[in-house]
Structure 1
Amino acid sequence: MTSPTILITGGTGTLGGHVVPLLRASGHDVRILTRHPRPDTDGVEYVTGDLLRNQGVEAAVDGAATVLHLAGGPKGDDEATRTLTRAASRAGVRHLVYISVIGADRVPLAWMRTKLESERSVADSGIPWTTLRAAQFHDLALTMVEKMARMPVFPVPGGLRLQPVDSREVAARLTELTLGAPSGLVPDMTGPHLYDLAALARPYLRRSGRRRPMLPVRIPGKAGRAYRAGANLTLEGAEVGKRTWEEFLAERLG
C-alpha cells in the first residue's frame, strides 16, 4: 500500500535537503514545489511553481495529504503562506506543518512580522496544523560570521545573544512532527548553548587563521531593545539540540 504523498515547499534548501531523505526513509513519497524544473527521482516528484506568483501551487497540493512548508525568503513570506494555505484548504490537505523562528511574536522587525503573519495564516487555515519555531541554524550563524570577518574590525552588537541549532536536528524534529498528529504550536527548538557574537566569532577566526579586533556596537531602536531583552531566545521549556557550534565548525571548516 502506497503511503500518502507529502508536499514540501523549500525542499531544495538547507533544511529540505535534510528532511527529504528522512521522509523517504520512512516510506513516504515526496513532492517538492520548486521554482526551477528538475527531473523526478526515485520517490521524489518535482512540481514547478512559485508561491509568490501563485503559479503551479494548485498542481502541487493536488492529492497531497500533508504539506510541510519550509520555503522562506527575506520578504513576502506572509503572502506566500496565504497562497499556500488557500490552495491546501481547497485540496483537502489533512495536516499543515510550518517552520517559523523564535521571536516571531516578540522582535519588531519586518521579516519577523511576516513569519508571525504566516503562523496566523496556518492557524486560521481550517487545516489541522503544527508549527515549530526554531533558533538560528548553525549554517546561518556561519554566514553571518563569515561576512563580518571580511571587515577589518569585527563588529559585536552589545546584548545580542543567539542559541544556534543544527539544521539536521531541526530536520529530524520536523520529520517526527510531519509524520505525527497535528499538534498546534509545539515547544521551540534551540541549540545547546547561548553565545554572544564575540563567542561565535572566536572559534571561527581561530580555525580560519584570522585575527580581527572586536568593536562593540549598539543595535538602535525597538529591535535593539528587543534583542538586548532576549526576545529572540527561549531559555526555558525548549526542545534542545545536542550539536554545538564548535562541533559544527570542526566539521565544516576542518
Structure 2
Amino acid sequence: MDVLVTGGTGRLGGHLVPRLRDAGHAVRQMSRRGTGPGGVRGDLATGFDLRTALAGAEVVVHTASDPRGDPWQVDVAGTRRLVEAVDRDRLRHLVYVSIVGVDRIPFGYYRAKFAAEQVLLASGLPVTLLRVTQFHDFVDELLSAARRGPVLPVPMGWRVQPVDVVEVAGHLVDVVAGPPAGAVVEYGGPEDLTVAELARAWAGARAPGAHVVATPVPGRMSSAVRDGAALPGGGARGRRSYAEHLRA
C-alpha cells in the first residue's frame, strides 16, 4: 500500500519506515523539511503542504508529536488539519500512536494527546488509536537527566511497563496490515516495574556507584501513576525486558 508516516524521522519513525518498506509498502515520510529517503514536506503546525503530502495515501501512520513545544498546536490542531487534508477517497486506515494513560493521568501533554484521539474518533475516518507505554531508551534519558552526582532521586511507588521501540515498530507494521479497530488498542512491555526498580537496574549498568533514592511525590498525577494509570489494561505485549535492553 501507499503509506505516509508523519514524524518519520523521529524516535519511532526511524525504526518504522524501513520495516514498512521491508513489508512491501511504498512509504513516504513527512516532516517540515521533507528530508531523508522518501521525504515529503508537510507542516502540522501550519497546514503548509499537508494536502500535497497526503495525496494518494492509502494508509497514514501518525507518529508526529511536539512534547517539548506546543502539543495543542501540533498534536491537537495539527491532527485536525491532518483529518481535513487526507484523501478520503483513497484512505483505508489511519493509525495514530498515542500513550497508555492519556485518559487517566492529569498531565498537560497527555491531555493534548487524549484530545487528539477525540479528534480522530469524531472524524469518521477508518482509524486505530494505538496507545503504547514508554520506550526503553526514553526511560534511559529520563534517569540520566534525573541523576544528581552520586544520587539518583526517583518518585516513590510509580509503576510503569516500558517497551522496546523496535518491537513497537514491528507491531505497527502488523496494525497497518490489519483492519481499522475504530477504537483504542494498547501495546506495552513485558514487565510491570516500579521506577525505583528501573533506576537500580539502570544505575547498575550505566552509572555504577549511583545511589537510588525513592522520594514521595505529592499531587494527582503522581497518585495516578502509583495507582497503575500508566500500565496497559490489555492488548499485545513486547518480549524484550528492560534488563535485556541495558545489556545490549
With structure 2 as the length reference, what TM-score do the two structures score? Answer: 0.92
**Secondary structure, in 3 states, of the residue corresponding to 1:184?**
coil
Are the structure 2 counterparts of residues 218 and 79 from structure 1 closer, same or farther at C-alpha, using a change threshold of 3 Å?
farther
| Alpha-carbon distance between aligned partners in 2 of 1:153 and 1:197, rounded to the nearest angstrom | 15
Decide whether the 8 Å contact of 1:89 with 1:126 is kept in 2: no
How far residue 186 of structure 1 moved from its aligned partner, in angstroms, is 4.8
Partner of 1:177: 175
SS in 2 for 1:159: coil
In structure 2, runs of 5+ residues without a counterpart are: none
2:8 is equivalent to residue 11 of structure 1: yes
Cα shift readout 1:17-72 (whole Å, capped 9, x = no counterpart)? 11111111121111111122425x4xxx2112210121111111111111110111
RMSD: 1.7
Distance 1:24 1:231 in 2: 35
Displacement, 1:179?
1.6
Correspondence for 1:216 among 197, 208, 214: 214
Residues 102, 188 of structure 1: 8 Å contact kept: yes
Q: 2:119 is matched with which residue?
A: 121
TM-score by length of 1: 0.89
- Aligned 8 A contact 2:146 2:154 in 1: no
Q: How does 1:46-85 map to 2 (within 5 A)?
A: 46-74=39-67, 75-76=71-72, 77-85=75-83
* Equivalent-residue separation in structure 2 for 1:152 and 1:212 (angstroms): 5
In structure 1, list runs of 5 or more residues that go unmatched: none
Quick one: which amino acid aligns to residue 73 of structure 1?
A: D
Q: Percent identity?
A: 40
1:179 and 1:238 mapped to 2: Cα distance? 17
Contact 1:89–1:125 under 8 Å retained in 2: no
Specify which of 231, 235, 238 is matched with residue 238 of structure 1: 235
SS at 1:198 equivalent: helix
Q: Find the partner of 2:110 among 104, 109, 112.
A: 112
The one-letter code of the counterpart of 1:5 is D
* SS of aligned partner of 1:188: strand
Report the Cα distance in structure 1 between the residues aligned to 2:129 and 2:207, rounded to whole angstroms.
40
Counting matched residue pairs gives 243
1:14 aligns to what SS in structure 2? coil
Report which stretch shifted further, 178-187 or 238-247.
178-187
